[in-house]
Chains A and B, each alone.
Chain A
Amino acid sequence: MMRIIRHLGKRSRSLTYSVTIKMAALVKYSRALVRFSKSPPCLSLLRAGCPRFCSGDVISASVHDRIEEKRRAALLGGGQRRIDAQHKKGKLTARERVDLLVDPGTFVEYDMFAEHRCSDFGMEKDENKFPGDGVVTGHGRIHGRPVYLFSQDFTVFGGSLSSVHAGKICKIMDQAMLTGVPVIGLNDSGGARIQEGVESLAGYADIFQRNVEASGVVPQISLIMGPCAGGAVYSPALTDFTFMVKDTSYLFITGPDVVKSVTREEVTQEELGGAKTHTTLSGVAHRAFENDIDALLRLREFYNFLPLSNRDPAPIRPTEDPADRLCPVLDHLVPLDSHKPYNMLDVIQAFIDEEDFFEIMPKYAKNIVVGFARMNGRTVGIVGNQPKVASGCLDINASVKGARFVRFCDAFNIPLITFVDVPGFLPGTSQEFNGIIRHGAKLLYAYSEATVPKITVITRKAYGGAYDVMASKHVKADINYAWPTAEVAVMGAKGAVSIIFRGDQDQAKKEAEYVEKFANPFPAAIRGFVDDILEPRMTRQRICRDLDLLSTKKESRPWKKHANLPL
């Protein structure tokens, strides 16, 4: 950890020293104002315009001027030159981002006048004070619904985090939890404010603590729009969703320089912690967007899927897609040859509202598809095995990806719809050595723990333990369907026959027997493990009706302090 911090120091020191002094004129009244603000009665009376205490127009005019000046300074952040530099990098400023993210005219800013209190290394000088201290915080509305947000300002001290900066973020997070409103963080920060030393670290920890407390209470979304390095990465990591902007955002514990000195690996920022790395390799980020504008507009769309808090139901909005629409296309989608792949995304697009699917982690662990959609206007979480990739098997990454998504949906009352075509868990030493047992258990745990409405459709294979895991009747799914192409069995015909009829000469015949017996939905249906065998075209209609029915579902689990998810 110390190494991390030292590295952070290096980064942000260089950023701090390069700050220009041109802002001095704008901030010269800062100290005076701070003194003033320590005498609140006077200030409030001034505001009220009470003539008795206003010894003359001179004072009031001067305070007004200072307020105006501060505001102007705050709006300008680190100054025009730094704003231009920010634009040149293909990035918008903190305020421009907020402007795009929230509905016009709805942003209410907090702590615009906050400034750091550091007096070391010359930081006490006026020219080193910027109203707002490198982060814009407040609340606004997205499509009419409230949101708390902070947006780090890279033009001020490289967006580095001071204790005041952290305090501002904590303030809105506290309010968000009190009111039950989500928090969106727009991260663009060089790291800790080195000059503040341990205060800065304390600031990070204050945020982490709140991230954890808010977890499962209100949705928390991080959009990484610039660097986010060192300890800072743990805040996004604790939030529900981390999105990135391609080419301009980075997330890493230590940068390429430190990596080189420690492990002798030569790696670029982009390779180490760019959007591609985190959305394809590490699974740290949930999705990447083309640029700032694309990211913010997509975030608005995404926000619409989410309830405001764990006390709110999954949102419902109008749709023009009929709830009773038949999907004949689904009748032909699953190939009869069970070795032939098909695209689960095609299945999903066909039955959801208006083909509007917001996929989460589309490029990571592609053998499982997760994301948000709407059914008759109501937000649902969709999980599906992807037969097109690795036959749709469950491996470590897919299990973790699925588990995290299922838990989010459960935490925020979003019904789960699961499409099953799974040949089993992926065998192999690499999986076993890396703990597929432990990680696979996460998905099982998540599904078993979930009390939101759970609807399951078995499209084809549901083999072995993976069948149990994928929202089977046995882990308390509410309604389970099988398409006529479904086969629920312990394993595929070949493997099963080689065990049951070991040594039998006519394996092919036995296989045929096995197929006849098990490669169909009946064994599960006669036992009630599936509630109905459903013509695929009816899928949308039935699920829409089921969701209405299940909207009043109430289920509770035994009291516990918290559960112990296998990690």
Chain B
Amino acid sequence: MASYRFNLVKRVPQFSSSLYRIARRCCSIYTTPVDTNEPTFDKILIANRGEIACRVMQTCKRMGIKTVAIFSEADRHALHAQMADEAMYVGPAPSNQSYLVMDRIMDIIRKTGAQAVHPGYGFLSENKEFAKKLADEGVAFIGPPSGAIQAMGDKIESKLLAKDAKVNVIPGFDGVVKDADEAVQIANDIGYPVMIKASAGGGGKGMRIAWNDQEARDGFRLSSQEAASSFGDDRLLIEKFIDNPRHIEMQVLADSHGNALYLNERECSIQRRNQKVVEEAPSIFLDPDTRRAMGEQAVALARAVDYTSAGTVEFLVDSQKNFYFLEMNTRLQVEHPITECITGVDIVQQMIRVAKGHELTMKQSDIPIRGWAVECRVYAEDPYKSFGLPSIGWLSRYQEPTHLPKVRCDSGIQEGSEISMYYDPMISKLVTYGDNREEALQNMCRALDNYVIRGVTHNIPLLQEIIAHPRFVSGDINTKFLYEEYPDGFQGRQLSDTEQKEVAAMAACIYLRDQVRAGAFKNENRMPLQPVNPAAWDITAIVQGQEMPATVTENKDNFTVTIDGQTLTVNNDWSIAAAVLDATINGQQNTFQCISRKGDEIKLQYKGTVFKVEVLPKKATDYSHLMPEKPKVEASGEVRSPMAGSLVSISVQPGQDVAIGQEVCVIEAMKMQNSLTADRSGKVKAVHFETGTNVSEDDLILELE
């Protein structure tokens, strides 16, 4: 019965206002006007989802082009499907049955009469076959020609081309390596350290670093196995490993009339697991000469492959400002907004113009660097696990900080959206800018403080820490920044004594506000109320396990909190129901978010990290000291699903004995397999799910006797 209803996309009129807001929000940064007399496409299909689909549609709307969205089962309510003029169902939730199925997309193109396709990033954006299929049907691909995609898609070929175009390349070898001895020979020729990986592997995947002959042998063995099994391509890449490297990339733009220019650089050195986390433009590290040299080499490479549209040439830069070509991404990059902020160029607009065959209207000398822009990738993930493991959920409350000046937030979600397990868990790209780096970072700090995300675990704690980190602020960064600064993993903000008191004081004020209000019944007419509101309330705030006795007083226009002999004055003109509390503590501005108030427990987000504060009347803590602490609940013998996902395998059966720590089942969520183990030894009493079924968070999968 469900399937019949699926053919409709509901359009509820109330949505429109928020859509207009979203459509409007980032136009102001552009200096490239829309020429309404210039012929352009009537209708463009966006073969993507999420924020990038919304981003492309905004420019389409600006240019007066109709848009077609495609949506999968999971994206039925998604913002991109609502934003488009037409939205077409493309298939079930998994992307290999929807966003990656070229034939279905081609069908939709025919059905809707779209004249061009913007592929966004990911999915089919760098798929030369897709570009070719479109060309065969006379539909414009808003991206580079398939030849360029092919040339740059291959690690070895792209390097050879780069060498020919006089682009600096990392000394190294690429091709089939006969055996481990040859690998060691090559490594010695280049000089250690060297990096070994499969040629066909993208990004940093399967990259191994060898500092000596033994490691070179191991690296050869593992990489060649991976090359054969994962890519069916034996070729290996062995090259000089750049120590202390920075990742700096050049945005290029080229048209089919032989014009090519660079839109300056972006620095994307803050990475985890070779994925970018924080990006900025320009780079604090480059001087004008290096910038020009890099830009000219990038343009040279683009010309060498007859590149058109927008592309990015990635470089590794060492401490001596030597830069080496890494690869070229033949698509719109995730982090393009920061380039737009500093140059004023609407890159998507230029991509569409170029695809229509128009000439670029600007020259290299027209490309400015106006101020500074920073981008944070806000992900639905738990930053306390390996700097971010995906989480999923439902955005029960969501407010982007776009009311603040100089903030741009590219997202494809809204309050009530679900972050599903099927796609990239990115919530948004938060971009701030300013006249200089300091201002941009300050704006970012404020924007992160004011960004309200409830219902999913997110990485704002980590982002806030990076933005405020002295080493980051000074610009002394490299691609290993996170691993160097947090060798034991990210632990959240470590509060100083003063900060701890501030958190305790804020929680105490919220508690007091709530308590005073609790006795203020408005319709208690039969019995006279006798609220007991002492002049000063003796309470205990417990922050991070530490008991802090405090005295709180509500004055006419503020609160006074005395903790440990220190007096903190807190303003009282905030609302207890608001998501964001602008507090002034001892004259200093602080932004808190009240995540939840449940009984005594107040969860406050402060400087990115969420702190649990218990506020109790003093006598309650006095009494609690009379009693022994409750022993921790012993191992339950229950295995519950820590997240929603599908049960890939169950390795035990009822009646079977298991040992503590033994794997009992595996759950796959967000394309990651998680092994669940028994928390104590015992006999399996019951297994409640079957292999292949979906489980939700906290489902009881298995019980021990």
Contacts and interface: CB of A to CB of B under 8 A. Distances in A.
A493 B1 contact: yes
A57 interface: no
Given A317-B520, A356-B597, A494-B1, A330 B14 contact: no
Interface in A508-532: 511-512, 515-516, 519
A519 to B, nearest CB: 7
Contact of A315 (B521, B534, B619): B521
A91 to B, nearest CB: 7
Q: Looking at A91, A144, A311, which has the most chain B CB atoms within 10 Å of its CB?
A: A144
A71 interface: no
Given A145-B521, A329-B396, 13 more contacts: A100-B617, A145-B524, A293-B623, A294-B599, A311-B526, A317-B517, A317-B520, A320-B577, A328-B18, A333-B416, A336-B10, A515-B4, A535-B12
B415 A297 contact: no
A181 interface: yes
A493 B397 CA distance: 34
Given A145-B524, A317-B518, A336-B5, A291 B630 contact: yes
A440 B532 CA distance: 45
Contact of A100 (B395, B520, B623): B623
A56 interface: no
A331 B14 contact: yes
5 contacts: A91-B627, A104-B534, A308-B526, A336-B5, A515-B1
Interface of B: 1-2, 4-6, 10, 12, 14-15, 18, 76-77, 394-398, 414-418, 515, 517-524, 526-527, 529-532, 534, 575-578, 596-597, 599-600, 616-617, 619-620, 623-624, 626-628, 630
Contacts of B534: 104
Interface residues of A, number: 70
Interface in A288-338: 290-294, 297-298, 301, 304, 308, 311-313, 315-322, 328-333, 336-338
Contacts of A484: 10, 12
A297 B396 contact: no
A377 B522 contact: yes
Given A99-B619, A104-B534, A301-B599, A519 B1 contact: yes
The 8 closest A-B pairs by CB, nearest first: A332-B416, A144-B531, A144-B519, A103-B532, A143-B519, A321-B577, A320-B577, A329-B416
A144 B623 contact: no
Interface stretch (A230-238, A249-257, A346-354): A346-354
A291 B527 CA distance: 32
A537 interface: yes
B526 A180 contact: yes
Q: Looking at B77, B518, B529, B616, which has the most chain A CB atoms within 10 Å of its CB?
A: B518
A276 B526 CA distance: 39
B424 to A, nearest CB: 20
A519 B5 CA distance: 10
Nearest to A104: B532
Contacts of B4: 511-512, 515-516
Contacts of B517: 317-318
Given A100-B620, A297-B620, A308-B527, A316 B1 contact: no
A292 B628 CA distance: 12
A290 B1 contact: no
B530 A144 contact: yes
B6 A336 contact: yes
B532 A88 contact: no
A247 interface: yes
Interface in A112-157: 141, 143-146
Nearest to B515: A143
A87 interface: yes
A109 interface: no
Contact of A96 (B76, B398, B520, B623): B623
B521 A349 contact: no
Contacts of A312: 524, 526
A461 to B, nearest CB: 12
A90 B599 contact: no
